[in-house]
Amino acid sequence: MIRPSLASLHLGLIAGLGVAALATFALADTPKPRVVSLGGSVTETIVALGAEDLLVGRDSTSNYPESVLALPDVGYIRALSPEGVLSLTPDLILSEDGAGPVEAVAVLQAGGIPFVTMPGSFSAQGVLDKITSVAAALNLEAEGAALADKTAAGFAAAAARADAVTAPQSVLFVISLQGGRVMAGGEGSSAAGIIALGGGVNAVSGFDGYKQITDEAVIAAAPDVILMMDRGGDLALSAEDVQATPALAATPAAKAGRIIRMDGMLLLGFGPRTPDAALALNAALYGG
Amino acid sequence: MVMLAETTDIQDRSIRAARVTQGLALALAVAGLASIGSGATGVSLFDMLDGLSAREALILWDIRLPRLAMGALVGAALAVSGALMQGLFRNPLADPGIVGVGAGAGLGAVLAIVLGGLLPATLGAWIGPQLVPFAAFLGGWAATIALYRLASRGGSVSVATMLLAGIALGALAGAVTGVLVYMADDRQLRDLTFWGMGSLAGASWAKIAASLPLIVPVLALSPLLARGLNALALGEAQARHIGIDTERLKRITILGVAASAGASVAIAGGIGFIGIVVPHLLRLATGPDHRFLLPNAALLGASLLVLADIFARTLLAPAELPIGIVTALVGAPVFLWILLQRRGIGGL
């Protein structure tokens, strides 16, 4: 089970302070900076720090909380339009790792706009690092420390629950069922991260990220629980969809009717809500 | 009398073509000014005329001008490559894709996106963000050379073999691409999708400098191929009889297309429609004579892509639409409409 140790927390703080030194310099004379946020988890973190009023733009993956949908959308984080971002006259751009194209990022930097890339990984430490770095970039260290403490406490509670599990359940995360084929979350995926935090064991391994797996692999995985995203509307996978897919219907999970559906951004976003997601998943897996 | 009528007809056509050339040059100039004067920030030409602020200078020199230059370059290269291919294959459906440029460049790009992370760190850092365009260009070039070799026998190139081998090579490249797509993670998949829809958002002077030596010579020298391509329209044997070195013509045309179309696909991704439709529109307007068709295709291709880019970056501002979507979404219905208009007058 992943638990934030004191040492790694300390490392995270040092990384955060490095970013802070940079950003403070840039924002010294801007009391209320105009901020463009790229990446759903960064946006969630900014809002959780109580800095939503600083936001003047977001990318297309930022859709929580609902109030940020009213902000101008600069498009997909990997296909930014430099002039589009400039048109929002930002003082600061906070981004998840991997914004692009590189030429667009270079133009924004040439325009003198600090472009700060946040660290992040699909772990408790990754979430805490992100909170510290975002807070530092916004000169909100006190709020950042409070949110990081609160989130770390949440992770600690989730970890305590996860550690108390005596018989871990194996969980198969199904992201889609295209044409009856199961696309599952493998090693290093955000799904694997949240399953671990929730005290479960990923039922499939041997591949990275999200892949379509064969029916036999599904049967061999024999998950105790099937986990899916609850996207609402027509896109949602229902329990009937699972029962209608022969390979899934043959699993212990489907036979026992153990199908868990959770909000996708909550489950996989790896932002400040992740402890809640871990606790909710733990409760769904083990009751209580 | 018949001879006389034909002569005046040809004269009419060349006068008309010259007028079309002038009109297209004007259109390109207007499209260029419109492109410089529009964008998400709302900075207009008039704002720029009264001296440039630092922000306006950045928008003009680092964003709009490189996009304009890259759009014009890529549009011209795609349209001329399409016209050259259609002339060479004597087939109105030919486009640079037929010599494997599309499939090869696509495979190169997918390889770079999915496996780029496996490069040794030093090499990766050196080539860095230019890996995808570089790999796309190499892929397009390699596919063309492979096809050319496959279709050559005893110093002569069979155009029919090249066409068929191109289809086979395309299928092979598609299969390998499929394997790589299967290996790709979420983010790489999205990168692949966006690459396939084309974009000028990554425009930079560095990319323009890299593609200029590959595209401009082909644009400038393509009219020299016009006489040969005109003769080839009668058939390969007939062209040889009137003194055209058809093998040399084929070789130069194919290499020219591989260079210019390969470079444009490499820097702008997959932009469809321009290569096939621009030459058609011009043939409807001024006939099939390559002496007029090739320069006019360069001008019209450049104008259309610059225009499409204006829509791509303003319609959804501050986000932007992939330009390949704009060219197909706006262009295809217009082209169909023109075809239906012409149907009454008789054939293509």
**What ipTM does this complex have?**
0.76
pLDDT for A12: 46
B280 touches chain A (CB under 8 A): no
Question: How many structural domains is chain B composed of?
Answer: 1
Give which of B185, B192, B195, B310 to mutate to test A binding, by max A Cβ within 10 Å: B185
Pick among 3.40.50.300, 3.40.50.1980, 3.30.413.10, 3.30.70.890: CATH of A170-271: 3.40.50.1980
Q: Cβ contacts of residue B58 below 8 Å, gap of 6+?
A: A86, A107, A110, A111
Residue A282 phi, psi dihedral angles, 5° rounding: -60, -45
A184 touches chain B (CB under 8 A): no
> Is residue A145 within 8 Å of A135, Cβ to Cβ?
yes
For residue B295, what is the enclosing H or E element? helix B290-314
Tell me whether residue B144 is in a domain: yes
**Could you report the per-residue pLDDT of A148-196, keeping only the tens digit for each?**
999 999 999 999 999 999 999 999 999 888 777 888 999 988 999 999 9
Q: Categorize the per-residue pLDDT at A1 as very low, low, confident or very high, splitting at 50, 70 and 90.
A: very low
A209 touches chain B (CB under 8 A): yes
pLDDT for B222: 95
Consecutive 10-residue runs of chain B (348 residues): their mean pLDDT? 57 84 96 94 88 88 94 96 89 73 84 78 64 84 85 78 84 87 79 84 87 92 95 91 92 89 87 87 89 95 95 89 88 81 59
Residues of A in contact with B64 (CB under 8 A): 83
Q: A201 has which bridge partners?
A: A170
Q: Could B202 and A81 be called an inter-chain contact, meaning their C-beta atoms sit closer than 8 Å?
A: no
The CA distance from B21 to B34, in Å, is 20
Share of chain A above pLDDT 70, in %: 87
Would A6-159 and A170-271 be classified into the same CATH topology? yes
Q: Please say if the pLDDT value at position A74 is more than 80.
A: yes
B62 touches chain A (CB under 8 A): yes
Give which of B38, B41, B182, B192 to mutate to test A binding, by max A Cβ within 10 Å: B41
Q: Categorize the per-residue pLDDT at A18 as very low, low, confident or very high, splitting at 50, 70 and 90.
A: very low
DSSP-derived letter for residue A31 is S
* Dihedral sign, Cα of residue B23, residue B24, residue B26, residue B30: positive
Nearest CB partner across the interface for A57, out of B62, B313, B318: B318
User: B287-322: buried (b, 16+ CB within 10 Å) or exposed (e) per residue?
Assistant: bbbbebbbbbbbbbbbbbbbbbbbbbbbebbbbbbb
Nearest CB partner across the interface for A103, out of B40, B202, B317: B202
Cis peptide before A65 (omega within 30 of 0): yes
Tell me whether residue B273 is in a domain: yes
Q: What is the mean pLDDT of residues A43-58?
A: 96
User: What architecture does CATH give domain A6-159?
Assistant: 3-Layer(aba) Sandwich (3.40)
pLDDT for A103: 85
Residue A22 vs residue B64, higher pLDDT: B64
CATH of the domain at B22: 1.10.3470.10
Residue A262 phi, psi dihedral angles, 5° rounding: -135, 155
Residue A12 vs residue A37, higher pLDDT: A37
Distance from CA of B102 to the nearest CA of A (A): 21
* Dihedral sign, Cα of residue A165, residue A170, residue A175, residue A180: negative
Range of the domain at B17: 2-343
- A94: its two tokens: 């906070």
pLDDT for A27: 53
Q: What is the largest CA-CA distance in chain A?
A: 63
Q: Which of B332, B216, B314, B333 is nearest to B274 (CA)?
A: B332
The CA distance from B198 to B207, in Å, is 15
pLDDT for A4: 45
Q: Please say if the pLDDT value at position A21 is more than 60.
A: no
Nearest CB partner across the interface for B40, out of A76, A81, A102: A81
pLDDT for B136: 85
> Is residue A191 within 8 Å of A201, Cβ to Cβ?
no
- B171: its two tokens: 């299928």
Residue B125 vs residue A125, higher pLDDT: A125
pLDDT for A94: 96
Q: Please say if the pLDDT value at position A75 is more than 60.
A: yes
Hey, is A178 helix, strand or coil?
strand
* Dihedral sign, Cα of residue B108, residue B110, residue B111, residue B112: positive
Q: Could A81 and B318 be called an inter-chain contact, meaning their C-beta atoms sit closer than 8 Å?
A: yes
- Angle between helix A141-163 and A6-27 (nearest 10): 160
For residue B34, what is the enclosing H or E element? helix B2-36
Share of chain A above pLDDT 90, in %: 60
* Dihedral sign, Cα of residue B250, residue B255, residue B260, residue B264: positive
Q: Please say if the pLDDT value at position A60 is more than 70.
A: yes
> Domain ranges in chain A?
6-159, 170-271
Q: Residue B309's closest chain A neighbor by CA?
A: A81
pLDDT for B115: 83
Tell me whether residue B214 is in a domain: yes
Q: Please say if the pLDDT value at position A11 is more than 50.
A: no
Residues of A in contact with B322 (CB under 8 A): 79
Distances (CA, A) of B74 to A81, A129, B238, B284: 19, 43, 34, 23
The CA distance from B342 to B348, in Å, is 8
pLDDT for B123: 65
- A272: its two tokens: 């400040």
Tell me whether residue B193 is in a domain: yes
Q: Could B191 and A75 be called an inter-chain contact, meaning their C-beta atoms sit closer than 8 Å?
A: no
A80 alpha-carbon distance from chain centroid: 21
The CA distance from A139 to A107, in Å, is 25
Tell me whether residue B348 is in a domain: no
Tell me whether residue B17 is in a domain: yes
Give which of B58, B131, B195 to mutate to test A binding, by max A Cβ within 10 Å: B58
> Is residue B286 within 8 Å of B292, Cβ to Cβ?
yes
